[in-house]
Amino acid sequence: MSQNTVDVNKILQDLETHIQGYSYGKSPLELYQPISYLMSLGGKRIRPLLTLMAYSLYKVDYQQILTPAMAVEVFHNFTLMHDDIMDDAPLRRGNATVHEKWNANTAILSGDVMLVKAYDMLLEINPNKLPECLRLFNKTAAEVCEGQQHDMNFETQDTVTEEAYIDMIRQKTAVLLGFALQFGAILADAPEDEIQNLYDFGVNIGIGFQLKDDLLDVYADKAKFGKQVGGDIISNKKTFLLLKAKELATGKHKTELENWISAKDFDKEEKVNGVTAIYDHLGIKGMTEAKMQEYFDKGFSQYAALQVPNQHTFQSLLKLTKDLVDREK
């Protein structure tokens, strides 16, 4: 491998070492321990990896931006810590959530400090680029919160349009992926049009990823999925599939779907099978796959338009993204 190329596994290894070696603070222990605990639970590290990969499309010294890239991961985990409280979730990545292991008040406060620490990490950016990066980071952070609020609002709304749902997942999930790529490109002095293309690529792929999650929750292979298939159906979560089914169902299928949604006492497996059968009748799986593919295609065409100096990294980032697109869990 030439000195002008970077290896994804090496980037991930350097990133993980950097994350595990970072000190958030020491006292009081109850404030800082939950942060180290959550950050040590792993995860795919997709967002900071995208920042480092986007940077590496143009420059090879990605080690210079490990701390700013880590800020994206710390922010992401801050949102997870608070989301878990809102959802009353007992597990995160197979381990007890922070509010379960400690308590909700500690999780709120530790999450607050995580956000502060993310800003600390951003201060390592070149001062000339800092105002622009902070402005974009703040815009993204606000959108993630807006998306979360829209998602919570949907729980009490009878009707949610496809357009509103797509915009919610764009904000809640996709904009942070877009920012991660945009951020790396800005730090690498990439041309303005390429920075925008990378952002749009990340957003469109992110929307596709969420639609794929919706699909996998119903149609995944149980052995590969790693969690309960049909969890969204059981909880009446307003996914793309349910919204399309509510829009298109007529006659007995409409009645049956409404009965399952309003049922308070039911057999979980029976409900999953019943609602899935309605989806099958309406062709919801194919519609979701088509919508998902529309966003993936849009994203990959934006990526293909890039004119980057490091073609090896270009191919590595393309492969990384396509592997995520093709996942089955």
Structural domain boundaries, residue 173:
8-325
The rounded distance, in Å, linking the Cα atoms of 237 and 239 is: 6
CA–chain centroid gap for 238, Å, is 17
Mean pLDDT of the chain: 95
CATH assignment of the domain containing 193: 1.10.600.10
The rounded distance, in Å, linking the Cα atoms of 52 and 57 is: 9
pLDDT value at position 1?
A: 41
Is 18 a domain residue? yes
Share of the chain above pLDDT 70, in %: 96
Is 1 a domain residue? no
- Quickly list DSSP for 230-272: THHHHTT---HHHHHHHHH--HHHHHHHHHHHH-SS--HHHHH
Q: How many domains does the chain have?
A: 1
Is 36 a domain residue? yes
**Of residues 239, 233, 241, the one with CA closest to residue 269:** 233
The rounded distance, in Å, linking the Cα atoms of 270 and 232 is: 14
Is 2 a domain residue? no
Is 279 a domain residue? yes
pLDDT value at position 229?
A: 76
Residue 68: how many other CB atoms lie within 10 Å: 26
Backbone angles phi, psi at 96, to 5 degrees: -60, 135
pTM above 0.85, yes or no: yes
Expressed in percent and rounded to 5, the helix, strand and coil fractions of the chain are: 75, 0, 25
The rounded distance, in Å, linking the Cα atoms of 190 and 237 is: 40
The rounded distance, in Å, linking the Cα atoms of 197 and 154 is: 31
pLDDT value at position 328?
A: 75
pLDDT value at position 19?
A: 96
Does 225 score more than 60 pLDDT? no
pLDDT value at position 224?
A: 65
Is 302 a domain residue? yes
For 168-183, how does the pLDDT look when each residue is reduced to its tens digit (9 = 90+)? 999 999 999 999 999 9
- What are the structure tokens assigned to 72, written together? 């994206």
Does 226 score more than 60 pLDDT? no
Is 275 a domain residue? yes
| Mean predicted confidence (pLDDT) in 182-203 | 98
Does 276 score more than 90 pLDDT? yes
CB 241 within 8 A of CB 279: yes
Does 300 score more than 90 pLDDT? yes
Q: What is the 3-state secondary structure (H, E, C) of 103-160?
A: CHHHHHHHHHHHHHHHHHHHCCCCCCCHHHHHHHHHHHHHHHHHHHHHHHHHCCCCCC
Which residues are within 8 A (CB) of 17 and not within 5 positions of it... i.e. 6 or more apart?
A: none
The rounded distance, in Å, linking the Cα atoms of 107 and 96 is: 12
Does 77 score more than 90 pLDDT? yes
Terminal C-alpha separation, the chain = 32
Is 3 a domain residue? no
Looking at the DSSP bridge assignments, the partners of residue 95 are 92
pLDDT value at position 221?
A: 78
Backbone angles phi, psi at 92, to 5 degrees: -140, 120
Does 2 score more than 60 pLDDT? no
Backbone angles phi, psi at 95, to 5 degrees: -120, 165
Helices 66-87/29-40 angle, 10° precision: 100
